[in-house]
Structure formats: C-alpha cells, structure tokens
Structure 1
Amino acid sequence: MLAIILTAVLGTSGLAAVGTQYMNTQGEGIGPVAVANNTESFNSGSNVLVDDPAITAQGDDEGARTVKEFQRDEPFSSFALTWTGQKDVTAFVRAEQSDGSWSEWYSMEPLSNEEGITNGTELIWHGPTNKIQVSTLNIDLFGEDAAAAGIDDAGQAVPEAETPAEAPAEAPVEEPAPAEAPVEAPAEAPVEEPGADYSASNNTDGLAPLPSNYGDIQPVADVDEGLNAVFIDGNEDAGVGIDNVADTDGMPRVISRAGWGADENLRCSNPTIDDGVSAITIHHTAGSNNYTQAQAASQVRGIYSYHAQTLGWCDVGYQALVDKYGTIYEGRAGGMTRAVQGAHAGGFNQNTWGISMMGDYSTVAPSDATIESVGELAGWRAKVAGFDPTGSDTHYSEGTSYSKYSYGTRVTLPNIFAHRDVGTTTCPGDAGYAQMDKIRSIAKAKYTSLQNDGTGTTTTPSTSTPGSTSVTSTSNAPSTPAQPSQTTEPAEAELASEEDALATLLTGGSSGGTSLLNGANSEQILTGIGSIAAVLIAASLADGSLANALGNAGNINGVPVLGDINLTEIIPVVDTAINLTGDNKYSRAWNDLNSTLGPVLGAAIGGETTVNYASEQNSEVSFVPFENGIMVSSPEAGTHGLWGVIGDTWAAQGADLGPLGLPTSNEYQDGDLLRVDFQNGYITYNKMTGETNIQLT
C-alpha cells in the first residue's frame, strides 16, 4: 500500500511488488522432463529404393522411388527436417512399426520460410521407432555426379533416348537403302556404366530402378548440403502431472507447464507481451492420430524442445495445445490471461492467440472431445480479451514470406480463424477446417455464459485469475469505500495501521521527526529507491502538492490512493528527449499508439530512464515521460502508454510499486467504459458518470 511505497522512498530496501501473481496456471507438476533431441545431416541417411504406390513426393509417375532411410540405436517418436535460408521443401515420412510393417506416409509441411534463420517442417509424431524413411521433392539426393552416371533426381536410370540423339538424323537421306535402316534402335538401348547392375524391376513407369551398387558410383556424402534431420523423443514414460489447475471464472481445466514437465531452462528469453489479444488462430500439429494420453504429454514436450531449441523460437509456438482426449496443455510461458505473443502464424503473431489440435486432421475429423475443449478454451479466452468469438476484425500483416499477405496488407478476419486463412499452409487440415463454425459456436456459448456470470447480469470482460471477485464501480473519491476482497486485500485493521504509518512518514508524527514533507528532497528520493513511484512523489514534493494529495487520500474498491497525483507533473530524469524516429521499443509502441488512437501522449519531454527497482514480475522497469502522460516498459509487461484519468489513477495507487503492477495494454474501449489492463488487474473509467474502478485479480 501507500505506506509501503513511502517507506521505500525513504530508503527501505528489499521490497517486493504488492499484489498477486498474474500467471494462473500453477498446478502440481512432475518436474522438468528430459527430452532426447538429436540432429544429423540429411545426407547421412541411406538411399533406398521403395516400391510403394503411396509415394507422391518424387516425380509424377507411378513406380519405385528413392528415399532416405535413417536407422538409430535409440528409439525416437518424432521427426522433422530443418534448413537455413530459403528452400522449397516438400517431404513425407513414415516409420517402421514394432511388427516390421510401415506406417502411412505423413506430410511434413514447412513451419516457416525466412532467409537467414533456421527453418523447418512441422515436427511429425509417428510413434516410437528406430527406423524411418523420408521421401522428398526438390532435394538433390545424388549430386552432380549422378547426372554423369545416367541417374535422374528421382533415382532412376536415364534411358539413352534422353541423351542427345541427333547423330542418326544426320545420316545421308539421299540414298534409299540407308534410309530404310532401323536407325532408332541404337538410341533405345540404355548406357551401361561399368559394374552397374541394371537388373529387371517391377516398375510400371518404364524407368529402370537405381543401380544396386549406386553407392560405388555416387557417395551419399555428396547429397544436398544444408538440410538436417531431427530426431526427438519426449519420454512418454514420464507421463503427466495433476491437471487440477485454475478453473475460476470459467477457465477450462488446463495442464500447466509444470504438469507436463516443461524444462524452463530451455527457454532463451522472457515472453513478449502485446497490448492485447484480438483473435484466436486454430492449428493442428500434423503427424499420427494414434497416440495414448501419456504419449500426448510426450508430444507436447517434444514440440517444446523442437520449437525452443532446434528452431530457436525460445519456447512453444502455440499458447495452448489440445489432444484428442480433450486435454488442454499450457503452451508458451507467460500466463494464459496475458497477451503473450506466440510464434504460430507468421505475419499474424502479434495480438493473436494460437490453439493447436494435436494430430493430423486433413482427412479425419477431430474428436468431439477435442472440438469441445478447443471451443471452450477459445470462448473463455475471448471473454478475457473482450471480443466476440463469432465477430470479425481488421488485422494488418506483419509480412514474412510464409504469410499469404504482404507487409501492411489490411485483412478482415473472423475473430476465430484458421492458420490457412493467413498462411501458405493447409493447417488445420480440410477435416479440421470444416469444424471452424462448430468451434466458434461452442466458443460463443461459453463467452455468453461468462458474460452473464450466472447472475443474469452482464459483466465487462475481465482478465481475472483465481481468487478475484466482481466489484461494483465506485467513484474516484468515494465517501464510503467498498470492502476489499479477502483474497487480495489486507484486513480493515491492517489498512488503518498502514494509514497511521503513512501519516507518520509524511509528517514525522507528534515527535516532529524527519519526514517527507520537512526533510527529503527529489534527489534523495530518486537515489534512495529508484522507481516511477519515487519520481512521482518527488514531483509532488517539488511543487508542494503532496500535502494536498494526503488531504485527499481515499481508496477505490479497497485500494488506497492519493489524490491530486498527476502524471503530467512527472520529473524528466533524463533531460534529452528520446528519439522516436528510430527503431526501438518505445518508437514502435509510440507509432502503434498514434496510428490507433492519435497523439494522445503528446511529445516526449525526456529520455528513457531505467529505474533500480525490480520485482518477481518485472526484471527491469523503464519509462519515458511525455507531455500528457508516460510510457512504461518491462520485458514481462511490454511497452505501453498511460495518460488521462486512468493514468493518474494508476499513479495514485503507487505506480509501479502499487498492487496493479505495470500496464499490459494501451487504453481501449470496453463497452461504455475506457479500460487499461495491468499485470494484476485493470482500471476502467466511465466518461459519462466520471466513475473510476480499480479491480485487482
């Protein structure tokens, strides 16, 4: 509370942020589970001739084709191909099963295709095996020497007819006798390489198979460079932890990251937090649908390892995954109620939330349990974000060559759309795509039930987490403050004690000791703690308004606030104004804000200041002052602007040291209210009535 804040300003150290943790998926876990992740060059595999009518990846004709075969001593359950730069890769994989038979061929669609970074296919779950075969298109399996050996890119011997055959046509045609000779016969005979075995084959396309001793002609090591094979096993024996995680405020039951065994050491950065979620993207993971519940958790661990380590995405690309049993798994770290930016729909990752159905739904429809869970989760997340699951909105493409739309293209999309709607992909499969309307319908029903909140009245969308309660809006300076929630606020006697401490700190008490009003100055405050709250209080001391602020002290929904605290009075610690024409987090956020709401902040009046204070929620806090407010940033909360009544209310409850934490969104319209989301709650303002509401979660 404010007493704690002002104690900190006097130099007390070791503070932690007031308020509850925002992340709400804290279930009982199984501890970090080790995942086997191995990569080797694609050319290390063996060239094998396969006569399988299901092969479609190499050539247009039927018949035997050459594929890569990999056999490993240790079993693995998932496979992918990766490469750098841009490659047009088409690939299929099948796995040898325990009885010696082969699985079906699984399509391996590219996940991304960006020059200069590691790109790859989907990670295909095929089940435990020691041997796989990979069929490819646009990949040179044989190298330049293959052409000299009379072998085409599909591993077939090239008949002599395909070599230059102009010589017979140059024979003199004036003499009748030579013209009657069968000149075509020699051209039809194959050219035999020394030692090559062109034995008869059962091909039906008329082409001879790869010579049985092809390895003597063209070493495997000369195959296309830069392509790698990835073998992953998610350790299905580890199982999954208890799924008794948050279901408060209608949140479906979710297996937390700890529950499925995420090794948080694999993450290479903190999550990026957008200013809100405006749509949900539906995916499928591809691969086999034939898995057990234990193997489902294993798949999630494998996907995490592949996305975070192999592709360098630092974490799972999706915010959530749902298996065929309807079990939901928490994906990317950062909190399922926060606008965590994923890596799931190139060109449309900002402000979207990805849910991936585990399996291949190209021809097989997702199970009813899967569709129900996906719809329920989407409806709950739409309610948290405040958008209609059956509505639509305008989005602007972020580009990337994997997107269907070039950078800056304006696209109107359903609020729940499929990956194929924005990307060059078939995801989530034809059968999965056919279920989109059903998913939206289930989501809408969930959304509506949460809006009604079981009381027959409509509530505003909330970023609520377990333990929060709905509180009626009160005025900015209420005469009879509402009682605080027992789960987030101290008891009434405790508040009184803090108010006494606050008065002593401000005035020095009856003993007339050192106080903020008679002893401290701006420099002492800034060097004593280093926080945005300290800068604001220093500004109040500088113009003598803190006494007025104390006199107008009150609370909003049980949260103590000081009156007359104004963001526009903040002291610029760095006098030189920040350059907002460059490419940095503040310029990007400032330009985004101007393009959506206009110049609400005005001009910058100072540079970026990084404060000394840090907490469990924010590893680093910085700010830039503007004419009409402030921009605040941390790696965990993102970069957002505050101004006007909501900005002043945030400042009055203690700014970054207050219970709300840092902003996670810019101001937006929520029904008849203006609203800003914070790490531990939100503030709303009704322009018609002048009422301000602080809601902690």
Structure 2
Amino acid sequence: MFRQVLAPIAAIALVTAPVTAHAAPGLGSAGSQEETGQHSGDSGLGEGTNLTDPASTAAPQESDAPAQAPTDASDGSVPVAAAQTAEVSIDAAADAVTVLGVTWDSSGTVPTTVEYRVLDEDGSAGAWVEIEALAGEGPDPGTAEAGGARTGTEPVIVAESADIEVRIDRGDADVQTTTTSVTAADEDLAAQADSGAGAAAPTPSAPTTAASRANAANAPLSYTTRAQWGADESLKKCEPDTTSANRAMVVHHTAGATSYTKAQVPGILRGILSYHTQSLGWCDVGYNMLVDRYGTVYEGRAGGPTKAIVGAHASGFNTGTFGVSVMGTYSAAAPAAAVDALGRVGSWQADLWNYDPTANVTLTSGGGTSKHTEGKKVSLPRVFGHRDTSATECPGAGLYGQLSQVRSKAKAGRTGTGFPVPGEIGKFYEKNTSKTGKPIIAQRCGMTDDGCFQRFEKGSVHWSKASGAHFTKANSGVQNAWKRYSYERGRLGYPTGEEFALKDAAGAVAQHFQGGTVVWSSATAGRPLVGAVGRKWKALGWERSQLRLPRTDEKCTLTRGGCYQQFQGGSIHWTAKTGAHETRGAIQRAWGTQKWENGRLGYPTTDEFKSGSTIRQNFEGGYITWSSTDGATIRYS
C-alpha cells in the first residue's frame, strides 16, 4: 500500500531580520490601514518621496548556504467536472515532493465542495477528504494583482507516492500538480539546520540595528533566502506592491500534515511558488515568510526583507500586515521550535516598525472577506491569526491558542531601540542621541539629489552627499519656515549645519541651508534669507546691523521683477539691474511718500553713505539726503 503524506497548505511563513521601510509605487494598495497611533505616511518632512533600501541598511541575516539553480519541475493539469472524478498519479517517493491544488474560473459555476481520496495499491479507495477552498486569501480587491488572479483551493502537499482521485460537486475545474526533486542543495540545507549552523556573521552595522538581533532568545534572526531554496524567479508574474509600513503580523498554518522532512521543505516551497503564480495567477508566493515545524525561517514573497511588501495572504488586510505561515496542521499545539521562530519574527517586525507586539491596532478592511465588509474598522492584536479576519480555521485551534506566547516572546526579544538607523544618518544619530531622541519611522531615501531622511522623537535628520547629515527640531520655527519653502525640494535645499544661537539677539536662532539661512525669534517667527537679499543682510552684519532681524519672508512681486524683505529696522530691495540695497529710517520714509519703487525715484542703487554734512542714498531717478537740521529731502535727476 502506498503511504501518503497530504497537507493542504494555507500559508507559509518566512522570517527575516530588520530592514527599513520603503515606499515604491507598484500594484494598488487596499485595506489594512493603521488608525491608532502609528505614523501612516510622510505628510511632513520629505513627503512624497519614494522609500528605497539604503545600501548600508542592516537586513536579517541570510543563511550562509550557497544559492542553488532553479530545479526543473514537472507540472501537470487534469480537468475535472461535476459528477466526474479526476485521477492523478503522483510519483513523489523519498527524493521528490508534489504540491497539488484545484483551480477554477470564478466567473462561472463555482464548486462549493472539493474532495480528494487516496487509492491503495490494490485499487481500493480511502475516505473522501475535503480540500478547503481559499478563504480570505489572495490579493486585496481592486489591485492589479487581483485583476489577474484565479480562485481555487489550498495547495496540498504530497510527500510520498500516491494515486489520488479528485471530485467537485458543481462546475468545472482543473487539478494542478507541481513535482520537484529533492536536490543535493536541499539535503545540505537540512544538514545545516540539524547542525545549528547557517546564520551568517553579523554585518558591521548589525550592532546598532535593533531588528538584526531581535528574537526571544536574544539571538540573531536568520532566514533561508529564495535563492537558497531554489526559487525560479521567472515564475513571478508581476512586481508586488510596497506600502509605507507594516502595522501587524498575521499568523497562518498550512492546514495539512506535519510529517514532511527537512530536506523536502525547499521542494514544498518551490511547489507553492508554482501553484500561487502559475495556477492562481498571483504575482508571487502569497506569504511574506514561511516557517517549518523545525523552526527554520524562509523568505517568501520577493522584494527585500527591509521593505513593507504587500502579500496575498489575508485578502482585504494584506496592505500593512506581514504574513507568516507555519507549515503543518495545528489543531493541536505547534512545536516549540515553530513558536519560538514566530516570536523571533514578531520581535524583528515590532522593532522594525516600532510597535508593541502585545498591543492592539485598528485596521480597515479592504473587502475580499465575508467576515469584515469593506470599510469596516476592526480592532485586532498586533500579532493575530488569519481566522480573525477571514472565515477560516487558520492557523488552527492549537496554534491560535499559542499566539499569546508568540506576542510575549516577541516583546521579550525587542531591544527597544526602535527603527534601524543606517548609513550617514546612523553615524549622526550615534553622536547625537540626546538631541534627536529615538527614531519613530524607518529611514527613507530616493529624495532630491538621492538624499535620505529619518524622523526622530525630537525632530528629523536629513542627509545628502553634498550637505551631509543635519538635524532640524520638530515643529520649531526654523523647521516650519523650511516647510513653507517645501523642505529639501524647495529653494533652501538641505540643511548644511545645526541650529545655533545669534549672540546679539536674545533668544534668536539660525540654521544654514544649501540655499540660504533661516532666522527665528519669538518676535519675528522663522524667516528664510535667500539669494541676493540674504547675502546683503549677512554683509551688513547679521543681527548686529541696524536692520536687526527679518520680520517677513522675501517677496518678489514688485515692478520689473524686483524683490524685497522687511526687517525690524528697515528693508532690503533688489533688482537684477540695481542689486540689493537697504533702506531705513527717515530716508526710507521719504522714499515711501513718492510710492516707493513705483515712484519717480525707482529702486535704490546704493546704501546710505555720508556726503558732506548729510547722509545720502542714491536711487535710479535721483537721490535723498538727510540732515538733523533739514530732515529728508528728495532730489530728482
């Protein structure tokens, strides 16, 4: 009699180490929106920029196993219709593994029951066993990925040879199979896991990156990459979407047998990749990470462990959640190794996205599940089970009952340092932690001039190659003035130094930027000084000059393209023809009586200067003199 190991796969879990978040547009996002206390986008410094992976960002530790070439797979498809039985012969044996699933077109008559049974060597049949249809799994509704998706059942793992019959109660469907061999590389991975080896040495940046060390046992989180488990990247159908941040972790199980060997796991993953992409039409593996019963973590959906990649594991709640699936059925308790692995992943995610894994979060359903209609706000634990958002038993009663342990392990494994702070901003942070406070969002790059920024408790640090890394205080007068000028995208550009006090103006501060300087005092607010007007003020002596501090922004709305800025002690006017010149006191008031630059005098062409016993200032159309006896006198050319 052929022995069989059958496992309907609902989800597969993968574990990675810390990474930074990035927002790159891709497939449209839906659902899973944070509503309670987490930063949900830029809407401030650096807004509208893409999120990218800085080269120095510390990532989870990859296994040191070599990559393997994609393994040739044997794919099959057998049609089945209502009142008929499809027979599939599977030659899995000890050196191969097969993934089987049933798919159909959702626009036609949809099966309500799909069953399989195993035939013995003598042809006698076992009992019919129902294969669970996909319940709340798949892409979020309305996304490009959903537009190309089919529906069907959970995949079934067949780890040994078997003849299998499949039947449906209505409609038409296809029985899909993918068989891959257990390779020498698969055997090496299994041996490596047995020996406890495999985690690469920490990178130089790892000691300052909390997420790279996060797990319940305070050991580095390591994972097996797609290249190491032999993913065929040509099977991917599209690039998944990336969102700004992950808000929670969703735990799944594969709803099948747990008797697979370590060496068979890579083949199972290759089969799931094929089923999800070629049979169901998804972009890639639906789960972000996969965990086997031995506690090994595997990379699932591609895109980079440091990004908030949108999966296809919890329809309506994919965006902003991280899907981790444990392979096997867990109506009873899951092995301690698997629970510990989930705790390590939870620690890493909580550190990376700066949340308490034992707290709750409010997410908004994007639809795609009968349990929560589109737009419904749902309060959920930060680490929750798939059954919390969909009508499914996943992740099984046993594992679901262990999620409180996962949350506790995740919290215990946190280092408490929050988001990773890589690169040049990280170097600045190490020297200025008391000034900045802790990071509160992931570092974001791809901004103007390939710059980066990261927000901290007390402000933000911006960096570009030309300007270096510098801090602006949160909601300060300087930062708010910079905001009015569109941050680094505007005329001021990036900060080039730190905020400093103006010695001769009590309580006033200033900060230099690439395009000028921002000056703030309680009496004048934050005022940028840019271009020729700014240079003129500095040449006159800054706050020590008779103009003292700026009290307005520069305005360039005057006749003939002129600009001006008002100060506590006067004004500076500029045109391309006349240059920048100050006016103040009695001479300025006299100039005003003849309608400023719009009058016959036009713009000033000099500053004030001594002429005999008078003070004089020249203009385009004449000059004004002043003396203590005669006051101000206008003389036209």
In the TM superposition, residue 350 of structure 1 has moved relative to its aligned partner by 0.4
Report if the CA contact (8 A) 2:81-2:167 is conserved. no
Cα distance between partner residues in 2 of 1:84 and 1:382:
39
For residues 424-448 of structure 1, give each alpha carbon's deviation from its aligned partner in whole angstroms, at most 9, with x where no partner exists: 211111222121112112112112x
User: Does 1:561 pair with 2:467?
Assistant: yes
Task: Assess, with a 3 A threshold, how the Cα gap between structure 1 residues 532 and 395 changes in structure 2: closer, same or farther.
Answer: closer
For residues 453-499 of structure 1, give each alpha carbon's deviation from its aligned partner in whole angstroms, at most 9, with x where no partner exists: xxxxxx2333769xx88943529999xxxxxxxxxxxxxxxxxxxxx
Instruction: Give matches, 1:260-409, under 5 Å.
Output: 260-362=229-331, 364-400=332-368, 402-409=369-376
Cα distance between partner residues in 2 of 1:299 and 1:644:
55
In the TM superposition, residue 370 of structure 1 has moved relative to its aligned partner by 0.9
User: Does 1:234 pair with 2:180?
Assistant: yes
In the TM superposition, residue 130 of structure 1 has moved relative to its aligned partner by 4.3
In the TM superposition, residue 395 of structure 1 has moved relative to its aligned partner by 0.5
For 1:109, the aligned partner's letter is E
105, 111, 114: which one aligns with 1:91: 114
In the TM superposition, residue 278 of structure 1 has moved relative to its aligned partner by 0.6
Q: What SS does structure 2 have at the residue aligned with 1:32?
A: coil
Instruction: Give matches, 1:249-648, under 5 Å.
Output: 249-250=213-214, 251-362=220-331, 364-400=332-368, 402-447=369-414, 450-451=415-416, 459-462=417-420, 471-472=429-430, 474=432, 533=448, 561=467, 629=486, 648=494
For 2:347, the aligned partner's letter is G
Cα distance between partner residues in 2 of 1:332 and 1:416:
19
Deviates more, 1:259-268 or 1:386-395: 259-268
Unaligned runs of 5+ in 1: 1-15, 48-66, 140-223, 452-458, 479-530, 537-554, 567-600, 603-625, 632-641, 653-697
For 2:366, the aligned partner's letter is E
Report if the CA contact (8 A) 1:249-1:464 is conserved. no
For 1:327, the aligned partner's letter is T
Q: Of Structure 1 and Structure 2, which has the larger fraction of its residues in helix?
A: 1
Cα distance between partner residues in 1 of 2:354 and 2:408:
17
Q: Of Structure 1 and Structure 2, which has the larger fraction of its residues in strand?
A: 2
Cα distance between partner residues in 1 of 2:496 and 2:364:
31
Residue 78 of structure 1 aligns with which residue? 99
For 1:322, the aligned partner's letter is V
Residue 42 of structure 1 aligns with which residue? 79
Q: What SS does structure 2 have at the residue aligned with 1:348?
A: coil
Q: What SS does structure 2 have at the residue aligned with 1:371?
A: helix
Cα distance between partner residues in 2 of 1:283 and 1:398:
19
Cα distance between partner residues in 2 of 1:295 and 1:563:
49
Deviates more, 1:390-399 or 1:426-435: 426-435
Q: What SS does structure 1 have at the residue aligned with 2:77?
A: strand
In the TM superposition, residue 392 of structure 1 has moved relative to its aligned partner by 0.5
Residue 457 of structure 2 aligns with which residue? none
Q: What SS does structure 1 have at the residue aligned with 2:309?
A: coil
Q: TM-score scaled by structure 1?
A: 0.48
Report if the CA contact (8 A) 1:386-1:461 is conserved. yes
Cα distance between partner residues in 1 of 2:120 and 2:351:
44
Report if the CA contact (8 A) 1:70-1:133 is conserved. yes
Task: Assess, with a 3 A threshold, how the Cα gap between structure 1 residues 651 and 234 changes in structure 2: closer, same or farther.
Answer: farther
In the TM superposition, residue 17 of structure 1 has moved relative to its aligned partner by 10
In the TM superposition, residue 309 of structure 1 has moved relative to its aligned partner by 2.4
Residue 20 of structure 1 aligns with which residue? 56
Task: Assess, with a 3 A threshold, how the Cα gap between structure 1 residues 434 and 98 changes in structure 2: closer, same or farther.
Answer: farther
For residues 334-361 of structure 1, give each alpha carbon's deviation from its aligned partner in whole angstroms, at most 9, with x where no partner exists: 2223211111100000010011000112
Report if the CA contact (8 A) 1:26-1:246 is conserved. no
Cα distance between partner residues in 2 of 1:327 and 1:354:
16
Report if the CA contact (8 A) 1:82-1:230 is conserved. yes
Residue 526 of structure 1 aligns with which residue? none
Task: Assess, with a 3 A threshold, how the Cα gap between structure 1 residues 330 and 475 changes in structure 2: closer, same or farther.
Answer: closer
Report if the CA contact (8 A) 1:25-1:336 is conserved. no
For 1:85, the aligned partner's letter is S
In the TM superposition, residue 329 of structure 1 has moved relative to its aligned partner by 0.7
Residue 30 of structure 1 aligns with which residue? 67
For residues 250-269 of structure 1, give each alpha carbon's deviation from its aligned partner in whole angstroms, at most 9, with x where no partner exists: 34221111221112222233
Q: TM-score scaled by structure 2?
A: 0.52
In the TM superposition, residue 384 of structure 1 has moved relative to its aligned partner by 1.2
In the TM superposition, residue 26 of structure 1 has moved relative to its aligned partner by 4.5
In the TM superposition, residue 38 of structure 1 has moved relative to its aligned partner by 2.5
Task: Assess, with a 3 A threshold, how the Cα gap between structure 1 residues 388 and 43 changes in structure 2: closer, same or farther.
Answer: same
Cα distance between partner residues in 1 of 2:471 and 2:375:
40
Cα distance between partner residues in 2 of 1:40 and 1:259:
28
Cα distance between partner residues in 1 of 2:450 and 2:61:
34
Task: Assess, with a 3 A threshold, how the Cα gap between structure 1 residues 628 and 357 changes in structure 2: closer, same or farther.
Answer: farther
Task: Assess, with a 3 A threshold, how the Cα gap between structure 1 residues 89 and 263 changes in structure 2: closer, same or farther.
Answer: same
Task: Assess, with a 3 A threshold, how the Cα gap between structure 1 residues 294 and 397 changes in structure 2: closer, same or farther.
Answer: same
- Give aligned-pair identity as a percent: 31
In the TM superposition, residue 308 of structure 1 has moved relative to its aligned partner by 2.3
Residue 151 of structure 2 aligns with which residue? 119
Cα distance between partner residues in 1 of 2:163 and 2:262:
23
Report if the CA contact (8 A) 2:61-2:222 is conserved. no
Cα distance between partner residues in 1 of 2:447 and 2:412:
42
In the TM superposition, residue 68 of structure 1 has moved relative to its aligned partner by 4.0
Unaligned runs of 5+ in 2: 1-51, 193-197, 203-211, 215-219, 437-445, 452-460, 473-478, 499-637
Task: Assess, with a 3 A threshold, how the Cα gap between structure 1 residues 564 and 423 changes in structure 2: closer, same or farther.
Answer: closer
For 1:561, the aligned partner's letter is S
Q: What SS does structure 2 have at the residue aligned with 1:288?
A: coil
Report if the CA contact (8 A) 2:62-2:224 is conserved. no
Report if the CA contact (8 A) 2:467-2:494 is conserved. no
Q: What SS does structure 2 have at the residue aligned with 1:92?
A: strand
In the TM superposition, residue 415 of structure 1 has moved relative to its aligned partner by 0.3
In the TM superposition, residue 19 of structure 1 has moved relative to its aligned partner by 3.6
For 1:118, the aligned partner's letter is R
For residues 227-257 of structure 1, give each alpha carbon's deviation from its aligned partner in whole angstroms, at most 9, with x where no partner exists: 1101122322351646334764334221111
Residue 533 of structure 2 aligns with which residue? none
For 1:125, the aligned partner's letter is I
In the TM superposition, residue 126 of structure 1 has moved relative to its aligned partner by 2.6
Report if the CA contact (8 A) 1:25-1:256 is conserved. no
Task: Assess, with a 3 A threshold, how the Cα gap between structure 1 residues 472 and 376 changes in structure 2: closer, same or farther.
Answer: same
Residue 163 of structure 2 aligns with which residue? 131
In the TM superposition, residue 533 of structure 1 has moved relative to its aligned partner by 4.1
Cα distance between partner residues in 2 of 1:372 and 1:463:
26
Report if the CA contact (8 A) 1:337-1:381 is conserved. no
Cα distance between partner residues in 1 of 2:400 and 2:254:
13
Cα distance between partner residues in 1 of 2:116 and 2:157:
10
Task: Assess, with a 3 A threshold, how the Cα gap between structure 1 residues 535 and 435 changes in structure 2: closer, same or farther.
Answer: closer
In the TM superposition, residue 393 of structure 1 has moved relative to its aligned partner by 0.8
